[in-house]
Amino acid sequence: MPIISAKNLIKKYPNPEKSGETFFAVKDVNLNIEEGEIFGLLGPNGAGKTTTLEMLEGLNNFDEGSIEIDGIDVKVNPYELKKIIGVQLQSNEYFDRLNLSDLLNLFAALYSTSIKPEEILSNVQLENKISALPDELSGGQRQRFSIACALVHNPKILFLDEPTTGLDPQAKRNLWQLAKTLNENGMTIVITTHNMEEAEFLCDRIAIMDQGSIIAQDTPQQLIADHAAEIPERRLQGNLEDVFLNLTGLGLRE
């Protein structure tokens, strides 16, 4: 049985260009994510990835459909859901006068749990920054610390929203390895990303979204075989980036 099951999700917002009308941010999305896998949501800007992720996390209400995560009905028991998920957002703001140890203890207190900050920081290779302030961290270190904050209550499922955006190659690869290690230790991970190499390296399965709907869903290898098997002007076989461009048509858009 999937650990995450979303059926016929719909989310509408007011149309800013036409008063009184709405548009679909997410339209009839169905997802089944298995326990212990890394699942990726890909799509161009405005495709509905982050909205879908926020609905799965219980951070955004949905208009129609249902979501069940580890047996929890997200709409009925959103607070029970928070006990088993960790969420790393695209950007975070922290109390700038608290060091990393203080911040981790603060987050742990919100979950009524106690932690050893040095152990959490060691998991993300930041143990030598335990007394540092957030503003003293590099971009990659801040991203790893945001994941550390999401891990204080040892969640079963970790949601990562574009975790490597803006990072240099070394910081990006360090974060990939962290995600792999967490997954190997049993954590289910759901990730949104624009980085096709990242999706191909990390994800067991991928759903590609466009204009609020899922237009393809499979393993990276099968998506490449189905949608980018022949790219003769560049190489004998395409990669996941070719799949993305072929399916969303972004190669033809301005």
- Give the orientation angle of helix 240-248 with respect to helix 220-227, to 10 degrees: 60
Could you tell me which of 178, 79, 97 has the C-alpha nearest to residue 135?
97
Residue 254 has pLDDT above 50, yes or no: no
Q: Give the pLDDT score at 165.
A: 83
User: CA torsion 203→209→213→218, rounded to 10°?
Assistant: -40
Q: Give the pLDDT score at 230.
A: 67
Q: Give the pLDDT score at 201.
A: 92
Q: Which domains does the chain have, with CATH numbers?
A: 4-84+155-216 (3.40.50.300)
Mean pLDDT of the chain: 89
Dist CA 176 CA 147 (whole Å): 12
pTM (2 decimals)? 0.86
Sign of the Cα torsion 25, 30, 32, 37 reads negative
Q: Give the pLDDT score at 237.
A: 61
More confident residue, 203 or 96: 203
More confident residue, 89 or 74: 74
**How would residue 250 be classed by pLDDT, with cut points 50, 70 and 90?**
low
